[in-house]
Amino acid sequence: MTDPAIVPLPSSLSTLSEAPFVVDAATRVLGDTDAADALRRLVAPRTGLTLAGADGDTDPASTPAITLAVDAGSGPAESYRLTASASGVAVTGADAAGLFYGVQTLGQLLASDAGTWQVPAVEIDDTPRFTYRGVMLDVARHFHGVPTVEAYIDRAAALKLNVLHLHLSDDQGWRLQIRSRPELTARASASAVGGDPGGFFTQDDYRHLVAYAASRHMTVVPEFDTPGHTHAVSLAYPELSEEPVLSEHIREIIRDYGGELPVNGTAFEGMAVGFSSLKIHDEATYAFLEDVFGELAALTPGPWLHLGGDEALGTSPEDFDVFVARASEIIVRLGKTPMAWHEAGSAAGLAAGTVGQYWGYVSPVGGMDARARAFVERGGKVVLSPADAIYLDMKFDADSPLGLTWARGVTSAQRAYEWDPASVIEGVADAQILGVEAPLWTETVRSLADIDALAFPRITAAAEAGWSPAVGAHPERTWESHRARVGAQAPLWKSLGIGYTALAEIPWQDAD
């Protein structure tokens, strides 16, 4: 067998000079039932084997087994230890999440050798670098229903990503039922980019997704984007919306990408952003926010609510400050921690402890880094989402029909990998960084196949930036190592139905 290839890179991996563990029809899985189910979901499609439990037909005394257990307090949160040899495999997590991640590693270790399924003899001790390791899925530009979101949760969780940020509203549509504001889904949910069908999640749908994510140890962070990106609100409650601000920039985007100029009360199906705004000095706006964020908080067990705050070009800087102060304070009163895109860092009244999400470039321009640092200065932390590295909707190839190129052109897999979170914003190091998130905006994305084609393999770079040791802190934390380890995932991804793009940068391994 080749050297073990794990993504994201573990903290510590040692190969042992012992025989591998053979996985066959007699192999039993003992211990934690949830982790055993997760392992079977990986093994069955890959091998065709259904692993038995403790009550299987084989002789427990003579059959090597895979043992899965939680040893509370045995290490940092989400950490695990995995040992494998001919005599058995043991995966021990410091908590349930750590055990789950150990199982994902075990799934990657499993490979075929001369017709036999084997796990190499190894010892792995693994701990995440950051507590927040996320992906974002935009369901506003194009709506993606429950099955697609479930599939993306499975894909992300397998790479030890633990946050799903759902972008639930934008100029093109409103995607979550709000019982106190029924017109939002009655009038503002049917549209999407390019005139495609819209849609929305009922509250039961949303609860289901939150529970499904939790079963994979992922926390849902919901976002209603305000005060800009709110044209859809004008379809339902036009009295809350200002008239669109039609700058030459907006007109240029519409000329380049098609569609009509936005008109309040009429569905917008284009790609332009930055023209809409809620009415900042109308108390009805804040009553609206109390309603929508109030219901969102009640539906969301996780600690964060995202208020948006990006590209509010239809709102004056003075009004933006007023809005951010009031919106972030509403979320605090609801018992949640506000999150906002980095632009909100300019607001003097931003609630203390708000988490900032930086979407500027790896090398900051235009003062974006200063606005991100402002969150830290007010007692918050920063999530790194540099657009020219881990925006998964950027084109991976100039000829791709999927994706855009505004973030410094085509984003190769190598460019997605070769950055470090602690090197982006001066004065914002690991202690000030909550984590990393890879957004996927859906202007050109209509299906799970489109998501797969854009996200894989580049999502692995974000996973490694969030989980693995810092660049320079481990000899294998390099592009050459990463590309080889990613290429080795091809058989597993194929067995799981992940339609990755076979980029030429990666040395893809043949199927088992």
Residues 102-117: tens digit of each pLDDT: 999 999 999 999 899 9
Positions of CATH 3.20.20.80 in the chain:
132-495
Q: Where are the alpha helices (DSSP H) in 76-202?
A: 96-109, 146-157, 183-188
From-to residues of CATH 3.30.379.10 in the chain: 12-126
Tokens, residue 155: 């894909």
Euclidean distance between CA atoms 107 and 126, whole angstroms: 15
**Could you check whether the bond before residue 439 is cis, i.e. omega within 30 degrees of 0?**
no
pTM of full prediction above 0.85: yes
pLDDT digits (tens, 9 = 90+) for 394-425: 999 999 999 999 999 999 999 999 999 999 99
Cα distances from 145 to residues 168, 207, 209, 221, in angstroms, run 12, 13, 10, 17
Percent residues over pLDDT 90 in the chain: 95
Q: Quick one: which H or E segment has residue 382?
A: strand 382-384
Domain boundaries 12-126, CATH class: alpha beta
Residue tagged 């270790």 (tokens): 109
Return left, alpha or beta for 455; rule: phi > 0 is left, psi -120 to 50 is alpha, else beta. alpha
Catalytic residue set: 311
Cβ(94)–Cβ(76) under 8 Å?
yes
Q: Which of 422, 505, 426, 434 is nearest to 471 (CA)?
A: 422
Fold that domain 132-495 belongs to in CATH: TIM Barrel (3.20.20)
pLDDT by position in tens, the chain (length 512): 457 999 999 999 999 999 999 999 999 999 999 999 999 999 999 999 999 886 644 455 557 899 999 999 899 999 999 999 999 999 999 999 999 999 999 999 999 998 999 999 999 999 999 999 999 999 999 999 999 999 999 999 999 999 999 999 999 999 999 999 999 999 999 999 999 999 999 999 999 999 999 999 999 999 999 999 999 999 999 999 999 999 998 999 999 988 899 999 999 999 999 999 999 999 999 999 999 999 999 999 999 999 999 999 999 999 999 999 999 999 999 999 999 999 999 999 999 999 999 999 999 999 999 999 999 999 999 999 999 999 999 999 999 999 999 999 999 999 999 999 999 999 999 999 999 999 999 999 999 999 999 999 999 999 999 999 999 999 999 999 999 999 999 999 999 999 999 999 999 998 76
Tracing tokens 């894989």 back to the chain, one arrives at 456
